[in-house]
């Protein structure tokens, strides 16, 4: 069974740090681009970052550049998101998602976890 | 940045109805658009990719159309399990999503 399970969320004060993890199973993790997306309470979806299957390309949404770092460990079938200098507006459910790439502009998020909640508040 | 505008933001319908959701982009994205369904407490599920290609395992009552800046998701005969929130998402560049359409029971 294909599964993505996020963990590491919680309550953190503004300016604090948190590291999210995503454990993958049931598919060839090391062949997938992987992503972090988030959803603020009652709001829509926002893509946060992604990483190439071998870890050598990484991209971020402008609002997290310099604060968040995406990484992966293919030997452990795991994806990570290190979040530093957290702000109230980072409060959201964070999802990891696997990306199927058919062509440069023909791709989609095929595999999703259930998410982990990050709350940034004093 | 490409702006994504979904309409309506919410929709009330009955089982058996035909439902259409629209997504408009601020510049042409050819057919680089996906549609997702999300139910409470779950991650989204891919329905349609590249504007009109049905994802494997998705019921054929779901269909997508459009190109350029205007796209539609149609559910031909609404089923009880289809009440959810639907999002469009562009793959032309930064993967922005529409704001969502909440489909509710009438």
Give the Cα separation of A95 and A36 in Å (integer): 6
> In A1-122, where do the E strands start and end?
3-7, 10-12, 18-25, 33-39, 45-51, 58-60, 68-73, 78-83, 92-103, 106-112, 116-120
At A94-115, the pLDDT tens digits run 999 999 999 888 899 999 999 9
8 A C-beta contact, residue A101 and residue A95: no
Query: Which of A65, A105, A107, A117 is best to mutate for the B interface (most B CBs within 10 A)?
Result: A105
Exposure on the CB side of residue A49, measured as CA atoms within 13 A: 22
Residues 81-110 of A with CB under 8 A from B: 95, 97, 102, 105-110
Stretches in chain A below the pLDDT threshold 70: none
The dihedral built from the CA positions of residue B46, A86, B40 and A76, taken in this order, carries a sign that is: positive
- Average pLDDT of the segment spanning B18-37: 97
What are B96's two structure tokens? 């922005």
In this complex, do A109 and B46 lie within 8 Å of one another by their Cβ atoms? yes
The whole-number pLDDT of residue B1 equals 86
pLDDT tens string B42-100: 999 999 999 999 999 999 999 999 999 999 999 999 999 999 999 999 999 889 999 99
3-state secondary structure of A75: helix
- By C-alpha distance, the chain A residue nearest B102 is A44
Nearest CB among B30, B42, B95 relative to A114 is that of B42
Using DSSP, state whether B75 is helix, strand or coil. Answer: strand
């Amino acid at each position: 069974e294909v599964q993505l399970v996020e963990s590491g969320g919680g309550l953190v004060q503004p300016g604090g740090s948190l590291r999210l993890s995503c454990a993958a199973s049931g598919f060839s993790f090391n062949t997938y681009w992987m992503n972090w997306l988030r959803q603020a309470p009652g709001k829509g979806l926002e893509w946060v970052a992604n990483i190439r299957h071998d870890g050598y390309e990484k991209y971020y949404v402008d609002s997290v550049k310099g604060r968040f770092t995406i990484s992966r460990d293919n030997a452990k079938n795991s994806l990570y998101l290190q979040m530093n200098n957290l702000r109230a507006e980072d409060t959201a459910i964070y999802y990891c998602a696997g990306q199927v790439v058919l062509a440069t502009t023909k791709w989609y998020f095929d595999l999703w976890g259930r998410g982990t909640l990050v709350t940034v508040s004093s | 940045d490409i702006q994504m505008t979904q309409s309506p933001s919410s929709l009330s319908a009955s089982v058996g109805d035909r439902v259409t959701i629209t997504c408009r982009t601020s510049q042409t994205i050819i057919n680089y658009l996906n549609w997702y369904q999300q139910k409470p407490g779950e991650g989204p599920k891919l329905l349609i990719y590249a504007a009109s290609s049905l994802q494997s395992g998705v019921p054929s009552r779901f269909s997508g159309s459009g190109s350029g800046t205007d796209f539609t998701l149609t559910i031909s005969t609404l089923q009880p399990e289809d009440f959810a929130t639907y999002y469009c998402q562009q793959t032309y560049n930064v993967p922005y999503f529409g704001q969502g359409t909440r489909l509710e029971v009438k």
